[in-house]
Amino acid sequence: MKSVFKFILLSMLLTGTVQAFEPFEIADIRVEGLQRISAGTVFNYLPLKVGDTIDTDDSANAIRALFKTGFFNDVYLERDGNVLVVYVKERAAISSIEITGNKDLETEQLLEGLKDIGLAEGRVFDRSLLDKVEQELQRQYFSQGKYAVRIETTLTPLERNRVGILIDISEGQVARIKQINIVGNQQYTDKELRDAFTLDTPSFFSVFTKSDQYSKQKLAADLETLRSFYLDRGYLKFNITSTQVSITPDKKDIYITINLSEGNQYKIREVTLSGELVVVPEELFPLVKINPGDIFSRKRVTEAVDRMSEKLGDQGYAFANVNTVPELDDEKQEVALAFFVDPGDRVYVRRVNVEGNVSTRDEVLRREMRQMESGWFSSSKVERSRTRLQRLGYFEEVNVETPSVPGTTDQVDVNYSVTERSSGNITLGAGFSQSSGILFNASISQENFLGSGKRVSFNFNNSKINTVYSFSYLNPYYTIDGVSRGFGFFYRKTDADEANVSDYSTDAYGANVSFGVPINEFDTIRLNTQVEHLELKTNSDSPFEVTDFVDKHGDKFNSLILTGSWSHDTRNKAIFTERGGLQRFSTELTVPGSELEYYKLEYDQRRYVRLTKYLTLLMHGELGYGDGYGDFDNLPFLENYFAGGIRSVRGFEDNTLGPLDSEDNPIGGAFKVAGGAEILFPIPFFEDSKSFRTSTFFDIGQVYKDLESFSTSDLRYSVGVAALWLSPLGPLSVSFGFPLNDEPEDEVQNFQFSVGTVF
């Protein structure tokens, strides 16, 4: 007679007991009920084998082990003689997962997340996992302010013990902030406090900023902003006592109430330094910039800590900690501020590593390094090295990390990673005027020739204005000390009448050699020597000023031109500069005895000020003055300055500002003034763009016959918007300029552009 026993997991879990039976030795094991899972899988997890003696505890352990696999809905054991029979009921397999109605969360990301937790096609279906998915999805939508979200899951049984899963999401609308109440503020109005918030009640701009859409993360950020607002104004015991967020029954409107306690305003009683002062206090105290009597400001304290940490970092203490210990006097509402210095071990650099430079040779990067291997770590030298790499213009991005060397406490590696940009350019220029029609020019240059850091350029221009052939070469490290050397030659034929200036033409050719000598980290002196032959050609339409010049001085000129310049460059980047500046003074002089005798003095300055994370103020100015000497009473008109156009005063046609000749065409002048201001910012709503930048500008400038002719009333002004895009087709510069005080004789050109291609 067959003896049967059955053990079900549910009864064991609820009662903790099973019916006792007589143990027996297992002669064989048989598995029943399998569909997809192999018998070998069951045997692998079953803690019993042929020859074992099974009792009540062994049976319970066996059932428990098979349930833990997650493969089965039901498991029980039977005895058939001395054969152990394992009966199982498999869980359904997932045949398909379909997600509908989701817009904020991408389907691919959701499916990938489901796969990570075990819900994927072909996997065993577990209802508890699906419940967790529903809860997590709801939590994510709640965090975005979508409290009306509905998530419905439909399970469709299929043949061969499979199931199809449909997750239907109705996202609903983001709950809008109807009201923000601040309770407890006495010193500052609601408007003053809410002006710093990201969240706000609906307004006209909410369509673009989405500031009226509630989210838990935004509220947390605003509460921290509120806390910083008070701590930066001396309210050391400021506290947000409670925050209530309520939602209307239709889940569309949000009401926020913030209860706060301002406390008293504290002033600084004294400032002290303590700890291990490896840098003398006389060098650290000036970095604090906080004096007794000042209102306490957490921001100023943080800035002081950063400055002292940076100073210690420059001395090799890479892991220095500067902690602030405020001691409050509640009765006098004063705080004694102590800075405790813990320099840690002095650290030196084991290795300087660079990666990401696929085309650029390693030596090109390493010669820009100011942090040396085996030297004391210096945070300013590490950052300066990064800045110098950025200013090369070869790299789209430069990052640096300083990980500790494993197993040591006083060594770090400095790892630079770069992302290369295309450093070769095919530049195309295009313009249009009623007299000249469409104009074209082209140039080919390689800023990083064969990855060597050397610059090679060939320029070709065959427009109505110019026919130009030129070649230039520059080695920025002609010597190991950074002295540069360059040379080039050119041929240039110009029809000035087509460039909106006086009617004449020139043929010129020559060659030059130049050197650049770095004086220090920021200052460079450059010298250039150029030999030039120029032939001036007139015609029947040439103005009196040109023909008179030819009659007096001839039409062929051989000159030796010397140019010298000094520049001070503190820019952080060569492209899309964010901070720093560039100023340059240069002089150009023809050597006495040349057939053209003149000199020119020029000064340029550009200053970049970081206003916010995304806004940069650019202020720029330019002065130019020239005159003749020897047989020349004035600056030869061939060397005159011009203004107007996309690189000068935008909104006015190229070269059209300034004095006119006897035929009412621009002839330029010996004195030039130009400048302006721009607010630079990335394209709105795409702040992280590294290839596009827009600006609003104010330009001012004019050209005068000579210095005595200068008058502020003759200056021209323009405003507008501009954009620069490093497109796949190359740098594209566009501007819309609108003159503010143009005169009838001025030539206005509102839309101006230039475009290029990068390879």
- Average pLDDT of the chain to the nearest whole number: 85
Query: What is d(CA 218, CA 211) in angstroms, rounded to the nearest whole number?
Result: 9
Q: Where are the domains of the chain?
A: 9-90, 93-170, 176-261, 267-342, 348-420, 501-758
What amino acid is encoded at 429 in this protein?
G
The span from the first CA to the last CA of the chain, in angstroms, equals 89
Distance CA 515, CA 520 (A): 16
Other CB atoms closer than 10 Å to residue 497's CB: what's the count?
Answer: 20
Same fold, 176-261 and 501-758: no
Res 498: pLDDT: 74
pLDDT of amino acid 307 = 92
Please, what is the Cα angle at 519 between 515 and 524, to 5 degrees? 50
Hey, what amino acid is at 117? I
pLDDT surpasses 70 at 251:
yes
Q: What's residue 16's pLDDT?
A: 36
Concatenated DSSP letters of 62-116 = HHHHHHHTT-EEEEEEEEETTEEEEEEEEPPEEEEEEEES-SSS-HHHHHHHHHH
Give residue for tokens 């050597």. 591
Reported as a single tens digit per residue, the pLDDT across 388-416 is: 998 888 888 899 999 999 988 889 999 99
Residue 19: helix, strand or coil by DSSP? coil
Whether 668 contacts 657, CB under 8 Å: no
Distances (CA, A) of 232 to 197, 228, 260, 265, 298: 16, 6, 16, 10, 5
Q: How many CB atoms lie within 10 A of CB 218?
A: 19
What confidence tier does 24 reach under pLDDT thresholds 50, 70, 90?
A: confident
Where does the pLDDT of residue 443 fall: very low under 50, low under 70, confident under 90, or very high at 90 and above? low
Q: What is the mean pLDDT of residues 49-60?
A: 86
The architecture CATH gives domain 176-261: Roll (3.10)
Strand partners, 75: 88
Average of per-residue pLDDT across 423-438: 49
- If you average pLDDT over residues 376-385, what whole number do you get? 91
Instruction: Provide the phi-psi class of 293: left if phi over 0, else alpha when psi is between -120 and 50, else beta.
Output: left
pLDDT digits (tens, 9 = 90+) for 281-328: 888 888 999 999 999 999 999 999 999 998 998 888 988 899 998 999
CA distance 612 to 610: 6
When pLDDT is cut at 50, 70 and 90, the band that residue 207 belongs to is: low
Distance CA 288, CA 736 (A): 46
Distance CA(279)–CA(308), nearest Å, equals 10
User: Looking at domain 348-420, which of 3.90.226.10, 1.20.120.80, 3.10.20.310, 3.30.420.40 is its CATH number?
Assistant: 3.10.20.310
pLDDT for 71: 80
To the question of domain 267-342 being in CATH 3.10.20.310, the answer is: yes
Largest pairwise CA distance in the chain: 137
d(CA 97, CA 168): 11
Q: Could you tell me the two tokens for 75?
A: 């498991």
Is residue 271's pLDDT more than 70?
A: yes
CB 322 within 8 A of CB 294: no
pLDDT at 2: 39
Residue 432 pLDDT level (bands cut at 50, 70, 90):
very low
pLDDT at 463: 66
- In sequence order, the 6+-apart residues with CB closer than 8 A to the CB of 370 are 381, 382, 384, 385, 388, 521
CB 324 within 8 A of CB 305: yes
- Percent of all residues in the chain with a pLDDT value above 70, rounded to a whole number: 91
Query: In angstroms, rounded to a whole number, what is the distance separating the alpha carbons of residues 210 and 104?
Result: 15
Phi, psi of 214 (to 5 degrees): -75, 140
Indicate the CATH number for domain 93-170: 3.10.20.310
The pLDDT assigned to 15 comes to 34
Overall pTM surpassing 0.75 (yes/no): no
What are the phi and psi torsion angles at 658 (to 5°)? 110, -170
Domain 501-758 has CATH 3.40.50.2000: no
Which DSSP string corresponds to 634-693?
S--GGG-B-B-STTSSTEE-TT-BS-B-TTS-B--BSEEEEEEEEEEEEPTT-TT-SSEE
How much is the pLDDT for 13? 37
pLDDT of residue 355: 92
**Can you give the pLDDT at residue 14?**
33
| Contact criterion met (CB below 8 Å) for 511 and 531 | yes
The most confident of 49-58, 109-118, 488-497, 594-603, by mean pLDDT: 594-603
Mean pLDDT to the nearest integer, 124-135? 78
**Sheet containing 253-261: which strands, arranged edge to edge?**
176-183, 253-261, 239-247
Is residue 570 a contact partner of residue 584, using CB atoms and an 8 Å limit? no
Instruction: Characterize 683-714 residue by residue with b for buried, 16 or more Cβ atoms within 10 angstroms of its Cβ, and e for exposed.
Output: eeeeeeeebebbbebebbbbbbbeeeeeeeee
Which helix (DSSP H) or strand (DSSP E) does residue 484 occupy? strand 484-495
Distances (CA, A) of 712 to 360, 495, 673, 700, 703: 49, 32, 10, 10, 11
Spatial distance between the Cα atoms of 702 and 674, rounded to a whole number of angstroms: 6
User: How much is the CA Rg of the chain, to the nearest whole Å?
Assistant: 39
Res. 430: pLDDT tops 70: no
437, pLDDT greater than 60: no
Three-class secondary structure assignment of 566-579: EEEECCCCCCCCCC
Percent helix / strand / coil, the chain, rounded to 5: 20, 45, 35
Rounded Cα gap, residues 135 and 397, in angstroms:
40
Q: Is 753 exposed, middle or buried (0-12, 13-18, 19+ CB in 10 A)?
A: middle
Q: What is the per-residue pLDDT for 6? A: 41
Q: Which H, E and C letters describe 200-265, residue by residue?
A: CCCCCCHHHHCCCECCHHHHHHHHHHHHHHHHCCCCCCCEEEEEEEEECCCCCEEEEEEEEECCCC
Predicted confidence (pLDDT) per residue in 642-690, tens digit: 999 888 899 998 888 999 988 888 999 999 999 999 999 887 655 556 7
| Domain covering 9-90 in this structure, CATH number | 3.10.20.310
Residue 567: other Cβ atoms inside 10 A: 17
Question: Residue 588: pLDDT band by 50, 70, 90 thresholds?
Answer: very high
**Dist. CA 269–CA 88, nearest whole Å:** 79
Per-residue confidence band for 726, with pLDDT thresholds at 50, 70 and 90: confident
Percent share of the chain, pLDDT over 90:
44
Mean pLDDT, residues 691-704: 93
Nearest-angstrom CA–CA distance, 327 and 337: 6
Q: How far is 679 from 719, CA to CA, in rounded Å?
A: 12
Residue in the block written with tokens 């102590």: 338
CA-based angle 195:196:200, to the nearest 5? Answer: 60
DSSP state, 496?
A: G
Is 60 exceeded by the pLDDT of residue 9? Answer: no
